[in-house]
Structure 1
Protein backbone atom coordinates (compact mmCIF):
# COMPACT_ATOMS: atom_id res chain seq x y z
CA UNK A 1 0.00 0.00 0.00
CA UNK A 2 1.47 3.30 -1.08
CA UNK A 3 1.80 6.33 1.15
CA UNK A 4 -0.74 8.24 -0.98
CA UNK A 5 -3.29 5.44 -0.55
CA UNK A 6 -2.75 5.37 3.21
CA UNK A 7 -3.14 9.15 3.35
CA UNK A 8 -6.35 8.92 1.33
CA UNK A 9 -7.76 6.24 3.65
CA UNK A 10 -6.78 8.31 6.70
CA UNK A 11 -8.56 11.34 5.25
CA UNK A 12 -11.71 9.33 4.56
CA UNK A 13 -11.62 7.87 8.07
CA UNK A 14 -11.30 11.34 9.57
CA UNK A 15 -14.29 12.45 7.51
CA UNK A 16 -16.50 9.48 8.39
CA UNK A 17 -15.52 8.85 12.02
CA UNK A 18 -17.48 11.83 13.48
CA UNK A 19 -20.53 10.81 11.44
CA UNK A 20 -20.32 7.20 12.65
CA UNK A 21 -19.92 8.30 16.28
CA UNK A 22 -22.82 10.77 16.12
CA UNK A 23 -25.16 8.56 14.09
CA UNK A 24 -26.59 6.53 17.05
CA UNK A 25 -27.37 9.62 19.15
CA UNK A 26 -28.87 11.35 16.12
CA UNK A 27 -31.06 8.32 15.40
CA UNK A 28 -32.21 8.14 19.04
CA UNK A 29 -33.03 11.87 19.02
CA UNK A 30 -34.99 11.59 15.79
CA UNK A 31 -37.06 8.69 17.12
CA UNK A 32 -37.58 9.56 20.77
CA UNK A 33 -37.87 13.35 20.43
CA UNK A 34 -39.14 14.33 17.02
CA UNK A 35 -40.80 10.99 16.36
CA UNK A 36 -42.84 11.19 19.56
CA UNK A 37 -43.66 14.84 18.90
CA UNK A 38 -45.22 13.78 15.59
CA UNK A 39 -46.98 10.89 17.34
CA UNK A 40 -48.42 13.27 19.95
CA UNK A 41 -49.70 15.58 17.21
CA UNK A 42 -51.31 12.58 15.54
CA UNK A 43 -52.94 11.45 18.82
CA UNK A 44 -54.46 14.91 19.29
CA UNK A 45 -56.64 14.24 16.22
CA UNK A 46 -57.77 10.78 17.37
CA UNK A 47 -60.31 9.48 19.87
CA UNK A 48 -57.62 8.06 22.18
CA UNK A 49 -58.68 7.45 25.78
CA UNK A 50 -56.66 5.21 28.10
CA UNK A 51 -54.81 3.69 25.13
CA UNK A 52 -54.04 5.10 21.68
CA UNK A 53 -56.88 4.72 19.21
CA UNK A 54 -56.46 5.47 15.55
CA UNK A 55 -59.95 6.71 14.78
CA UNK A 56 -59.70 10.21 13.32
CA UNK A 57 -61.95 12.74 15.09
CA UNK A 58 -60.65 15.98 13.59
CA UNK A 59 -60.53 19.00 15.89
CA UNK A 60 -62.99 17.66 18.44
CA UNK A 61 -60.28 17.22 21.09
CA UNK A 62 -59.28 20.87 20.72
CA UNK A 63 -62.93 21.93 20.93
CA UNK A 64 -63.40 19.89 24.11
CA UNK A 65 -60.14 21.26 25.52
CA UNK A 66 -61.15 24.91 25.17
CA UNK A 67 -64.55 24.15 26.70
CA UNK A 68 -62.98 22.83 29.92
CA UNK A 69 -62.88 25.17 32.91
CA UNK A 70 -59.67 23.59 34.21
CA UNK A 71 -57.89 24.49 30.97
CA UNK A 72 -58.97 28.13 31.28
CA UNK A 73 -57.72 28.16 34.87
CA UNK A 74 -54.39 26.72 33.68
CA UNK A 75 -54.09 29.38 30.94
CA UNK A 76 -54.75 32.22 33.40
CA UNK A 77 -52.27 30.75 35.88
CA UNK A 78 -49.50 30.34 33.32
CA UNK A 79 -50.06 33.92 32.15
CA UNK A 80 -49.70 35.24 35.71
CA UNK A 81 -46.78 32.99 36.55
CA UNK A 82 -44.82 33.46 33.32
CA UNK A 83 -45.19 37.26 33.21
CA UNK A 84 -44.11 37.76 36.84
CA UNK A 85 -41.40 35.10 36.63
CA UNK A 86 -39.79 36.52 33.49
CA UNK A 87 -39.96 40.17 34.57
CA UNK A 88 -38.73 39.64 38.15
CA UNK A 89 -35.94 37.24 37.13
CA UNK A 90 -34.76 39.64 34.42
CA UNK A 91 -34.76 42.71 36.67
CA UNK A 92 -33.21 40.89 39.62
CA UNK A 93 -30.61 39.13 37.45
CA UNK A 94 -29.63 42.40 35.79
CA UNK A 95 -29.36 44.15 39.15
CA UNK A 96 -27.16 41.41 40.61
CA UNK A 97 -24.97 41.42 37.49
CA UNK A 98 -24.46 45.18 37.66
CA UNK A 99 -23.68 44.86 41.38
CA UNK A 100 -21.02 42.19 40.79
CA UNK A 101 -19.62 44.07 37.79
CA UNK A 102 -18.45 46.86 40.12
CA UNK A 103 -15.39 44.70 40.97
CA UNK A 104 -16.51 44.40 44.58
CA UNK A 105 -14.62 42.38 47.15
CA UNK A 106 -15.88 38.88 47.59
CA UNK A 107 -17.21 38.54 44.04
CA UNK A 108 -15.72 35.06 43.80
CA UNK A 109 -17.63 34.14 46.96
CA UNK A 110 -20.96 35.78 46.06
CA UNK A 111 -21.18 34.53 42.48
CA UNK A 112 -21.46 30.79 43.36
CA UNK A 113 -23.93 31.64 46.14
CA UNK A 114 -26.23 33.30 43.59
CA UNK A 115 -25.73 30.44 41.14
CA UNK A 116 -26.16 27.60 43.64
CA UNK A 117 -30.00 27.36 43.50
CA UNK A 118 -29.81 26.58 39.78
CA UNK A 119 -27.83 23.44 40.62
CA UNK A 120 -30.89 22.06 42.42
CA UNK A 121 -33.73 20.31 40.66
CA UNK A 122 -37.18 21.90 40.65
CA UNK A 123 -38.40 18.98 42.78
CA UNK A 124 -35.89 19.87 45.53
CA UNK A 125 -36.72 23.58 45.24
CA UNK A 126 -40.45 22.92 45.42
CA UNK A 127 -40.12 20.63 48.42
CA UNK A 128 -37.88 23.06 50.32
CA UNK A 129 -40.17 26.02 49.68
CA UNK A 130 -43.21 23.95 50.58
CA UNK A 131 -41.73 23.34 54.02
CA UNK A 132 -40.63 26.95 54.37
CA UNK A 133 -44.05 28.39 53.43
CA UNK A 134 -46.14 25.87 55.36
CA UNK A 135 -47.83 27.81 58.21
CA UNK A 136 -47.48 24.87 60.61
CA UNK A 137 -43.71 24.31 60.31
CA UNK A 138 -42.27 27.14 58.22
CA UNK A 139 -41.89 30.90 58.27
CA UNK A 140 -45.11 31.66 60.12
CA UNK A 141 -44.34 29.25 62.97
CA UNK A 142 -40.76 30.48 63.29
CA UNK A 143 -41.85 34.14 63.52
CA UNK A 144 -44.41 33.28 66.16
CA UNK A 145 -41.86 31.30 68.17
CA UNK A 146 -39.68 34.42 68.12
CA UNK A 147 -42.52 36.39 69.72
CA UNK A 148 -44.34 37.91 66.75
CA UNK A 149 -47.69 36.28 67.57
CA UNK A 150 -49.68 38.31 65.03
CA UNK A 151 -47.53 37.29 62.05
CA UNK A 152 -49.38 35.32 59.39
CA UNK A 153 -48.22 34.04 56.01
CA UNK A 154 -50.65 31.52 54.55
CA UNK A 155 -50.24 32.18 50.82
CA UNK A 156 -49.63 28.50 50.08
CA UNK A 157 -53.06 27.64 51.54
CA UNK A 158 -54.86 30.60 49.90
CA UNK A 159 -56.60 30.02 46.57
CA UNK A 160 -55.90 33.58 45.42
CA UNK A 161 -52.27 33.80 46.55
CA UNK A 162 -50.91 30.26 46.01
CA UNK A 163 -49.80 31.02 42.45
CA UNK A 164 -47.42 33.67 43.79
CA UNK A 165 -45.62 31.12 45.97
CA UNK A 166 -44.63 29.33 42.75
CA UNK A 167 -43.31 32.64 41.41
CA UNK A 168 -41.23 33.13 44.56
CA UNK A 169 -39.68 29.65 44.38
CA UNK A 170 -38.99 29.86 40.64
CA UNK A 171 -37.39 33.32 40.90
CA UNK A 172 -35.21 32.13 43.79
CA UNK A 173 -33.92 29.24 41.69
CA UNK A 174 -33.37 30.95 38.35
CA UNK A 175 -32.40 34.58 39.00
CA UNK A 176 -28.76 33.61 39.65
CA UNK A 177 -28.56 31.91 36.26
CA UNK A 178 -29.95 35.05 34.59
CA UNK A 179 -27.39 37.07 36.53
CA UNK A 180 -24.61 34.92 35.04
CA UNK A 181 -25.86 35.62 31.51
CA UNK A 182 -26.01 39.36 32.10
CA UNK A 183 -22.62 39.36 33.85
CA UNK A 184 -21.07 37.64 30.84
CA UNK A 185 -22.65 40.29 28.62
CA UNK A 186 -21.34 43.12 30.82
CA UNK A 187 -17.83 41.69 30.83
CA UNK A 188 -17.97 41.48 27.03
CA UNK A 189 -18.60 45.21 26.52
CA UNK A 190 -15.61 47.14 25.20
CA UNK A 191 -14.25 49.37 27.98
CA UNK A 192 -13.14 51.94 25.40
CA UNK A 193 -16.77 52.72 24.62
CA UNK A 194 -17.53 53.29 28.30
CA UNK A 195 -14.44 55.43 28.82
CA UNK A 196 -15.31 57.58 25.81
CA UNK A 197 -18.82 58.14 27.20
CA UNK A 198 -17.43 59.07 30.62
CA UNK A 199 -15.03 61.55 29.03
CA UNK A 200 -18.02 63.14 27.26
CA UNK A 201 -19.60 63.68 30.66
CA UNK A 202 -22.11 60.82 30.78
CA UNK A 203 -23.32 60.00 34.28
CA UNK A 204 -23.51 56.41 35.54
CA UNK A 205 -27.27 56.36 34.99
CA UNK A 206 -26.89 57.63 31.41
CA UNK A 207 -24.07 55.17 30.82
CA UNK A 208 -26.24 52.19 31.70
CA UNK A 209 -29.45 53.51 30.14
CA UNK A 210 -28.01 54.59 26.78
CA UNK A 211 -25.01 52.30 26.26
CA UNK A 212 -24.77 49.28 28.53
CA UNK A 213 -28.38 48.06 28.55
CA UNK A 214 -28.85 48.45 24.74
CA UNK A 215 -25.64 46.45 24.23
CA UNK A 216 -27.09 43.68 26.41
CA UNK A 217 -29.89 43.02 23.91
CA UNK A 218 -28.62 39.47 23.08
CA UNK A 219 -28.53 38.63 26.80
CA UNK A 220 -32.07 39.97 27.28
CA UNK A 221 -33.30 37.91 24.34
CA UNK A 222 -31.58 34.74 25.57
CA UNK A 223 -32.94 35.25 29.08
CA UNK A 224 -36.46 35.72 27.73
CA UNK A 225 -36.32 32.55 25.64
CA UNK A 226 -34.89 30.39 28.46
CA UNK A 227 -37.27 31.74 31.11
CA UNK A 228 -40.29 31.34 28.83
CA UNK A 229 -39.31 27.74 28.14
CA UNK A 230 -38.88 27.01 31.86
CA UNK A 231 -42.21 28.67 32.69
CA UNK A 232 -44.18 26.64 30.17
CA UNK A 233 -42.77 23.28 31.32
CA UNK A 234 -42.98 24.04 35.07
CA UNK A 235 -44.58 20.72 35.98
CA UNK A 236 -42.20 19.41 38.64
CA UNK A 237 -42.02 22.68 40.61
CA UNK A 238 -45.81 22.95 40.80
CA UNK A 239 -46.28 19.31 41.79
CA UNK A 240 -43.61 19.50 44.52
CA UNK A 241 -44.74 22.87 45.91
CA UNK A 242 -48.54 22.90 45.72
CA UNK A 243 -49.61 19.77 43.81
CA UNK A 244 -51.73 22.04 41.63
CA UNK A 245 -53.78 23.14 44.64
CA UNK A 246 -55.34 24.23 46.80
CA UNK A 247 -58.16 22.93 44.64
CA UNK A 248 -57.16 23.96 41.10
CA UNK A 249 -55.65 27.29 42.16
CA UNK A 250 -52.20 26.50 40.74
CA UNK A 251 -53.18 24.30 37.81
CA UNK A 252 -50.77 24.77 34.89
CA UNK A 253 -50.92 23.50 31.29
CA UNK A 254 -48.20 20.96 32.12
CA UNK A 255 -50.08 19.56 35.14
CA UNK A 256 -53.33 19.64 33.16
CA UNK A 257 -51.75 17.63 30.35
CA UNK A 258 -50.41 15.00 32.77
CA UNK A 259 -53.68 14.61 34.69
CA UNK A 260 -55.86 14.30 31.60
CA UNK A 261 -53.48 11.90 29.87
CA UNK A 262 -52.52 9.55 32.70
CA UNK A 263 -55.14 10.09 35.44
CA UNK A 264 -58.41 10.83 33.67
CA UNK A 265 -57.63 8.60 30.67
CA UNK A 266 -58.33 11.34 28.12
CA UNK A 267 -55.25 10.86 25.99
CA UNK A 268 -56.61 12.76 23.01
CA UNK A 269 -57.40 15.87 25.07
CA UNK A 270 -54.06 15.61 26.87
CA UNK A 271 -52.24 15.36 23.54
CA UNK A 272 -54.12 18.42 22.28
CA UNK A 273 -52.97 20.42 25.32
CA UNK A 274 -49.39 19.21 24.73
CA UNK A 275 -49.57 20.36 21.11
CA UNK A 276 -50.73 23.83 22.21
CA UNK A 277 -47.80 24.00 24.65
CA UNK A 278 -45.47 22.95 21.81
CA UNK A 279 -46.91 25.68 19.56
CA UNK A 280 -46.37 28.25 22.31
CA UNK A 281 -42.72 27.26 22.69
CA UNK A 282 -42.30 27.28 18.90
CA UNK A 283 -43.81 30.77 18.74
CA UNK A 284 -41.04 31.90 21.09
CA UNK A 285 -38.16 29.89 19.64
CA UNK A 286 -38.71 30.36 15.90
CA UNK A 287 -38.43 34.19 15.90
CA UNK A 288 -35.37 33.89 18.15
CA UNK A 289 -33.66 31.41 15.83
CA UNK A 290 -34.62 33.49 12.81
CA UNK A 291 -33.11 36.61 14.38
CA UNK A 292 -29.91 34.73 15.27
CA UNK A 293 -29.50 33.27 11.78
CA UNK A 294 -30.30 36.60 10.15
CA UNK A 295 -27.70 38.35 12.32
CA UNK A 296 -25.05 35.76 11.40
CA UNK A 297 -25.77 36.16 7.68
Structure 2
Protein backbone atom coordinates (compact mmCIF):
# COMPACT_ATOMS: atom_id res chain seq x y z
CA UNK A 1 0.00 0.00 0.00
CA UNK A 2 2.84 2.34 0.90
CA UNK A 3 4.53 1.66 -2.46
CA UNK A 4 1.30 2.39 -4.35
CA UNK A 5 0.84 5.63 -2.42
CA UNK A 6 4.43 6.64 -3.21
CA UNK A 7 3.97 5.88 -6.91
CA UNK A 8 0.73 7.87 -7.02
CA UNK A 9 2.45 10.80 -5.30
CA UNK A 10 5.34 10.64 -7.78
CA UNK A 11 2.96 10.52 -10.76
CA UNK A 12 1.01 13.50 -9.41
CA UNK A 13 4.20 15.55 -9.00
CA UNK A 14 5.36 14.50 -12.48
CA UNK A 15 2.04 15.56 -14.00
CA UNK A 16 2.32 18.92 -12.25
CA UNK A 17 5.90 19.55 -13.31
CA UNK A 18 5.84 18.08 -16.83
CA UNK A 19 4.08 21.10 -18.47
CA UNK A 20 6.55 23.45 -16.76
CA UNK A 21 9.53 21.41 -17.92
CA UNK A 22 8.22 21.26 -21.51
CA UNK A 23 7.44 24.99 -21.65
CA UNK A 24 10.57 26.20 -19.87
CA UNK A 25 12.81 26.34 -23.01
CA UNK A 26 10.19 28.42 -24.87
CA UNK A 27 9.73 30.72 -21.89
CA UNK A 28 13.50 31.14 -21.51
CA UNK A 29 13.89 31.93 -25.21
CA UNK A 30 11.04 34.47 -25.03
CA UNK A 31 12.58 36.16 -21.98
CA UNK A 32 15.96 36.45 -23.69
CA UNK A 33 15.01 37.22 -27.29
CA UNK A 34 11.94 39.40 -26.64
CA UNK A 35 12.15 41.09 -23.26
CA UNK A 36 15.93 40.90 -23.12
CA UNK A 37 16.33 42.67 -26.44
CA UNK A 38 13.65 45.21 -25.50
CA UNK A 39 15.69 46.05 -22.40
CA UNK A 40 18.86 46.22 -24.52
CA UNK A 41 17.17 48.61 -26.98
CA UNK A 42 16.02 50.84 -24.14
CA UNK A 43 19.58 50.96 -22.80
CA UNK A 44 21.02 51.72 -26.26
CA UNK A 45 18.60 54.64 -26.57
CA UNK A 46 20.36 56.27 -23.61
CA UNK A 47 23.86 55.58 -24.94
CA UNK A 48 26.23 57.16 -27.44
CA UNK A 49 25.80 54.36 -29.99
CA UNK A 50 26.61 55.02 -33.64
CA UNK A 51 27.36 52.20 -36.08
CA UNK A 52 27.99 49.74 -33.22
CA UNK A 53 26.54 49.59 -29.70
CA UNK A 54 28.27 51.84 -27.19
CA UNK A 55 27.82 51.80 -23.44
CA UNK A 56 28.65 55.45 -22.79
CA UNK A 57 25.62 56.82 -20.96
CA UNK A 58 24.38 60.16 -22.33
CA UNK A 59 20.90 60.31 -20.77
CA UNK A 60 18.09 61.85 -22.83
CA UNK A 61 20.37 63.36 -25.49
CA UNK A 62 19.15 60.97 -28.21
CA UNK A 63 15.53 61.77 -27.46
CA UNK A 64 16.27 65.50 -27.55
CA UNK A 65 18.00 65.14 -30.93
CA UNK A 66 15.18 62.95 -32.22
CA UNK A 67 12.43 65.49 -31.55
CA UNK A 68 14.50 68.21 -33.25
CA UNK A 69 14.78 66.26 -36.52
CA UNK A 70 12.44 67.39 -39.30
CA UNK A 71 12.44 63.85 -40.72
CA UNK A 72 10.98 62.53 -37.47
CA UNK A 73 8.15 65.06 -37.57
CA UNK A 74 7.44 64.12 -41.19
CA UNK A 75 7.17 60.46 -40.18
CA UNK A 76 4.88 61.34 -37.26
CA UNK A 77 2.61 63.38 -39.55
CA UNK A 78 2.48 60.59 -42.13
CA UNK A 79 1.62 58.06 -39.42
CA UNK A 80 -1.18 60.30 -38.13
CA UNK A 81 -2.70 60.60 -41.61
CA UNK A 82 -2.29 56.90 -42.37
CA UNK A 83 -3.58 55.65 -39.01
CA UNK A 84 -6.62 57.96 -38.99
CA UNK A 85 -7.76 56.95 -42.47
CA UNK A 86 -6.80 53.30 -42.06
CA UNK A 87 -8.63 52.80 -38.77
CA UNK A 88 -11.66 54.86 -39.82
CA UNK A 89 -12.16 53.29 -43.26
CA UNK A 90 -11.51 49.73 -42.04
CA UNK A 91 -14.01 50.17 -39.20
CA UNK A 92 -16.77 51.60 -41.40
CA UNK A 93 -16.17 49.14 -44.25
CA UNK A 94 -15.85 46.14 -41.93
CA UNK A 95 -19.05 47.04 -40.09
CA UNK A 96 -20.93 47.59 -43.36
CA UNK A 97 -19.83 44.23 -44.75
CA UNK A 98 -20.73 42.51 -41.48
CA UNK A 99 -24.22 44.01 -41.49
CA UNK A 100 -24.64 42.94 -45.12
CA UNK A 101 -23.65 39.35 -44.37
CA UNK A 102 -25.79 39.32 -41.24
CA UNK A 103 -28.88 39.63 -43.43
CA UNK A 104 -28.44 35.91 -44.28
CA UNK A 105 -27.91 36.73 -47.94
CA UNK A 106 -27.46 33.98 -50.49
CA UNK A 107 -23.84 33.04 -51.04
CA UNK A 108 -22.68 34.13 -47.59
CA UNK A 109 -20.50 31.03 -47.26
CA UNK A 110 -18.65 32.01 -50.45
CA UNK A 111 -18.35 35.73 -49.67
CA UNK A 112 -16.80 35.32 -46.22
CA UNK A 113 -13.65 33.53 -47.47
CA UNK A 114 -13.32 36.07 -50.29
CA UNK A 115 -13.37 38.96 -47.82
CA UNK A 116 -11.00 37.17 -45.44
CA UNK A 117 -8.52 35.97 -48.08
CA UNK A 118 -6.36 39.16 -48.13
CA UNK A 119 -5.59 38.71 -44.43
CA UNK A 120 -3.93 35.38 -45.26
CA UNK A 121 -1.28 37.26 -47.24
CA UNK A 122 1.71 38.96 -45.69
CA UNK A 123 2.06 42.73 -45.91
CA UNK A 124 5.11 42.21 -48.13
CA UNK A 125 2.99 40.35 -50.69
CA UNK A 126 0.21 42.93 -50.44
CA UNK A 127 2.64 45.82 -50.90
CA UNK A 128 4.30 44.20 -53.90
CA UNK A 129 0.98 43.37 -55.58
CA UNK A 130 -0.41 46.87 -55.08
CA UNK A 131 2.86 48.40 -56.27
CA UNK A 132 2.31 46.64 -59.60
CA UNK A 133 -1.38 47.56 -59.71
CA UNK A 134 -0.75 51.26 -59.00
CA UNK A 135 2.33 51.64 -61.20
CA UNK A 136 1.25 53.91 -64.11
CA UNK A 137 3.51 52.05 -66.54
CA UNK A 138 2.25 48.50 -66.00
CA UNK A 139 -0.77 48.68 -63.71
CA UNK A 140 -4.26 50.14 -63.68
CA UNK A 141 -3.49 53.29 -65.68
CA UNK A 142 -1.75 51.35 -68.44
CA UNK A 143 -4.62 48.85 -68.60
CA UNK A 144 -7.18 51.65 -68.98
CA UNK A 145 -5.11 53.21 -71.75
CA UNK A 146 -4.99 49.87 -73.59
CA UNK A 147 -8.78 49.66 -73.32
CA UNK A 148 -9.05 53.05 -75.03
CA UNK A 149 -9.55 55.32 -72.02
CA UNK A 150 -6.58 57.58 -72.78
CA UNK A 151 -7.69 60.35 -70.44
CA UNK A 152 -7.53 58.11 -67.35
CA UNK A 153 -4.69 58.99 -64.98
CA UNK A 154 -3.92 57.43 -61.61
CA UNK A 155 -0.33 58.11 -60.62
CA UNK A 156 -0.77 58.61 -56.86
CA UNK A 157 2.11 56.24 -56.09
CA UNK A 158 4.53 58.68 -57.78
CA UNK A 159 2.90 61.85 -56.40
CA UNK A 160 4.46 63.16 -53.17
CA UNK A 161 1.12 64.60 -52.03
CA UNK A 162 -0.94 61.48 -52.72
CA UNK A 163 1.45 58.56 -52.11
CA UNK A 164 0.42 58.09 -48.47
CA UNK A 165 -3.13 57.38 -49.65
CA UNK A 166 -1.93 54.43 -51.75
CA UNK A 167 -0.63 52.89 -48.52
CA UNK A 168 -4.08 53.40 -47.00
CA UNK A 169 -5.72 51.66 -49.99
CA UNK A 170 -3.46 48.61 -49.73
CA UNK A 171 -3.79 48.36 -45.94
CA UNK A 172 -7.59 48.70 -46.02
CA UNK A 173 -7.82 46.03 -48.74
CA UNK A 174 -5.88 43.58 -46.58
CA UNK A 175 -7.46 44.18 -43.18
CA UNK A 176 -11.10 45.18 -43.73
CA UNK A 177 -12.18 41.53 -44.13
CA UNK A 178 -10.68 40.64 -40.76
CA UNK A 179 -12.52 43.56 -39.14
CA UNK A 180 -15.70 42.34 -40.85
CA UNK A 181 -15.25 38.94 -39.23
CA UNK A 182 -14.92 40.56 -35.79
CA UNK A 183 -18.09 42.59 -36.24
CA UNK A 184 -19.96 39.64 -37.73
CA UNK A 185 -19.13 37.57 -34.66
CA UNK A 186 -20.46 40.41 -32.51
CA UNK A 187 -23.65 40.68 -34.56
CA UNK A 188 -24.28 36.95 -34.32
CA UNK A 189 -23.95 37.26 -30.54
CA UNK A 190 -26.77 39.83 -30.19
CA UNK A 191 -29.84 38.41 -28.45
CA UNK A 192 -32.60 37.94 -31.03
CA UNK A 193 -35.27 38.40 -28.35
CA UNK A 194 -34.17 42.02 -27.87
CA UNK A 195 -34.35 42.65 -31.61
CA UNK A 196 -37.80 41.04 -31.89
CA UNK A 197 -39.09 43.14 -29.00
CA UNK A 198 -37.82 46.31 -30.66
CA UNK A 199 -39.41 45.34 -33.98
CA UNK A 200 -42.74 44.69 -32.25
CA UNK A 201 -42.51 48.20 -30.76
CA UNK A 202 -42.24 49.55 -34.31
CA UNK A 203 -38.50 50.26 -34.54
CA UNK A 204 -37.22 50.56 -38.10
CA UNK A 205 -34.07 48.74 -39.23
CA UNK A 206 -32.10 52.00 -39.11
CA UNK A 207 -33.13 52.75 -35.52
CA UNK A 208 -32.68 49.10 -34.62
CA UNK A 209 -29.02 49.17 -35.59
CA UNK A 210 -28.35 52.71 -34.41
CA UNK A 211 -29.98 52.42 -30.97
CA UNK A 212 -29.52 48.73 -30.09
CA UNK A 213 -27.18 46.70 -32.26
CA UNK A 214 -24.24 49.07 -32.76
CA UNK A 215 -24.05 50.11 -29.06
CA UNK A 216 -23.92 46.42 -28.15
CA UNK A 217 -20.87 46.03 -30.42
CA UNK A 218 -18.68 48.18 -28.15
CA UNK A 219 -16.26 45.30 -27.37
CA UNK A 220 -15.86 44.59 -31.09
CA UNK A 221 -15.20 48.28 -31.79
CA UNK A 222 -12.60 48.41 -29.03
CA UNK A 223 -10.88 45.22 -30.22
CA UNK A 224 -10.85 46.43 -33.82
CA UNK A 225 -9.36 49.78 -32.78
CA UNK A 226 -6.58 48.17 -30.74
CA UNK A 227 -5.63 45.74 -33.52
CA UNK A 228 -5.74 48.36 -36.29
CA UNK A 229 -3.81 50.93 -34.26
CA UNK A 230 -1.19 48.31 -33.46
CA UNK A 231 -0.86 47.37 -37.14
CA UNK A 232 -0.64 51.00 -38.24
CA UNK A 233 2.32 51.64 -35.94
CA UNK A 234 4.01 48.45 -37.24
CA UNK A 235 3.46 49.26 -40.92
CA UNK A 236 7.13 48.92 -41.93
CA UNK A 237 6.87 45.93 -44.29
CA UNK A 238 3.86 47.24 -46.24
CA UNK A 239 5.43 50.65 -46.84
CA UNK A 240 8.84 49.23 -47.80
CA UNK A 241 7.26 46.86 -50.33
CA UNK A 242 4.83 49.43 -51.73
CA UNK A 243 6.66 52.76 -51.81
CA UNK A 244 9.99 52.28 -50.04
CA UNK A 245 9.12 55.33 -47.95
CA UNK A 246 9.04 57.56 -51.02
CA UNK A 247 8.75 59.40 -53.23
CA UNK A 248 11.21 61.40 -51.17
CA UNK A 249 9.90 61.05 -47.62
CA UNK A 250 6.23 61.21 -48.58
CA UNK A 251 5.39 57.86 -46.98
CA UNK A 252 8.05 57.60 -44.28
CA UNK A 253 6.66 56.55 -40.89
CA UNK A 254 8.41 55.99 -37.53
CA UNK A 255 9.04 52.32 -38.39
CA UNK A 256 10.94 53.16 -41.60
CA UNK A 257 12.62 56.10 -39.86
CA UNK A 258 13.91 53.77 -37.15
CA UNK A 259 15.38 51.36 -39.70
CA UNK A 260 17.05 54.06 -41.79
CA UNK A 261 18.67 55.82 -38.82
CA UNK A 262 19.82 52.56 -37.26
CA UNK A 263 21.24 50.73 -40.28
CA UNK A 264 21.87 53.31 -43.04
CA UNK A 265 22.74 56.49 -41.12
CA UNK A 266 24.79 54.78 -38.41
CA UNK A 267 22.83 56.48 -35.63
CA UNK A 268 21.89 53.48 -33.55
CA UNK A 269 21.15 55.58 -30.46
CA UNK A 270 18.59 57.76 -32.26
CA UNK A 271 17.10 54.69 -33.98
CA UNK A 272 16.73 52.96 -30.62
CA UNK A 273 15.09 56.07 -29.17
CA UNK A 274 12.51 56.06 -31.98
CA UNK A 275 11.91 52.34 -31.38
CA UNK A 276 11.30 52.98 -27.68
CA UNK A 277 8.79 55.71 -28.52
CA UNK A 278 6.98 53.29 -30.86
CA UNK A 279 6.95 50.69 -28.08
CA UNK A 280 5.49 53.24 -25.65
CA UNK A 281 2.82 54.16 -28.22
CA UNK A 282 1.76 50.52 -28.63
CA UNK A 283 1.79 50.04 -24.85
CA UNK A 284 -0.40 53.13 -24.44
CA UNK A 285 -2.90 51.56 -26.85
CA UNK A 286 -2.89 48.01 -25.48
CA UNK A 287 -2.65 48.64 -21.71
CA UNK A 288 -6.07 50.36 -21.30
CA UNK A 289 -7.63 47.59 -23.41
CA UNK A 290 -6.14 44.86 -21.24
CA UNK A 291 -7.17 46.73 -18.09
CA UNK A 292 -10.76 47.04 -19.32
CA UNK A 293 -10.88 43.35 -20.27
CA UNK A 294 -9.51 42.18 -16.92
CA UNK A 295 -11.80 44.54 -15.01
CA UNK A 296 -14.83 43.26 -16.96
CA UNK A 297 -13.93 39.62 -16.19
CA UNK A 298 -13.63 40.38 -12.47
Task: Please give the residue correspondences for 1:134-153 in structure 2 after superposition, counting only pairs within 5 Å.
Answer: 134-153=135-154
Displacement of 1:72? 0.6
Match of 1:78 in 2: 79
Instruction: Answer yes or no: is 1:178 the counterpart of 2:186.
Output: no
Q: Could you say what the CA RMSD is over the residues aligned between the two structures, in angstroms?
A: 0.8
Residue by residue over 1:42-91, the C-alpha shift from the partner in whole angstroms, topping out at 9 and shown as x without a partner, is 00000000110000011110111111111010000000000000000000
Residue by residue over 1:238-292, the C-alpha shift from the partner in whole angstroms, topping out at 9 and shown as x without a partner, is 0000000001110010000001001111000000000000010011011111111
Match of 1:105 in 2: 106
SS of equivalent residue, structure 1 residue 55: coil
Runs of 5+ unmatched residues, structure 2:
none
Match of 1:263 in 2: 264
Task: Please give the residue correspondences for 1:18-29 in structure 2 after superposition, counting only pairs within 5 Å.
Answer: 18-29=19-30
2: CA distance between counterparts of 1:277 and 1:270?
11
Residue by residue over 1:221-240, the C-alpha shift from the partner in whole angstroms, topping out at 9 and shown as x without a partner, is 00000000100010000000
Match of 1:33 in 2: 34
Which of structure 1's runs of 4+ aligned residues deviate more than 6 A? Answer: none
2: CA distance between counterparts of 1:275 and 1:116?
33
Match of 1:166 in 2: 167
Residue by residue over 1:176-195, the C-alpha shift from the partner in whole angstroms, topping out at 9 and shown as x without a partner, is 00001111111111111111
Match of 1:9 in 2: 10
1: CA distance between counterparts of 2:246 and 2:194?
51
2: CA distance between counterparts of 1:27 and 1:190?
44
Residue by residue over 1:69-115, the C-alpha shift from the partner in whole angstroms, topping out at 9 and shown as x without a partner, is 11010000000000000000000000000000111110110000000
SS of equivalent residue, structure 2 residue 20: helix
Match of 2:92 in 1: 91
Match of 1:280 in 2: 281
Match of 1:205 in 2: 206
SS of equivalent residue, structure 2 residue 250: coil
SS of equivalent residue, structure 2 residue 46: coil
Runs of 5+ unmatched residues, structure 1:
none
Q: Higher mean Cα deviation, 188-197 or 129-138? A: 188-197
Match of 1:66 in 2: 67
SS of equivalent residue, structure 2 residue 143: helix
Displacement of 1:3? 2.3
Displacement of 1:12? 1.2
SS of equivalent residue, structure 1 residue 90: helix
2: CA distance between counterparts of 1:229 and 1:29?
20
Q: Higher mean Cα deviation, 221-230 or 19-28? A: 19-28
SS of equivalent residue, structure 1 residue 2: helix
1: CA distance between counterparts of 2:20 and 2:162?
53
How many pairs align?
A: 297
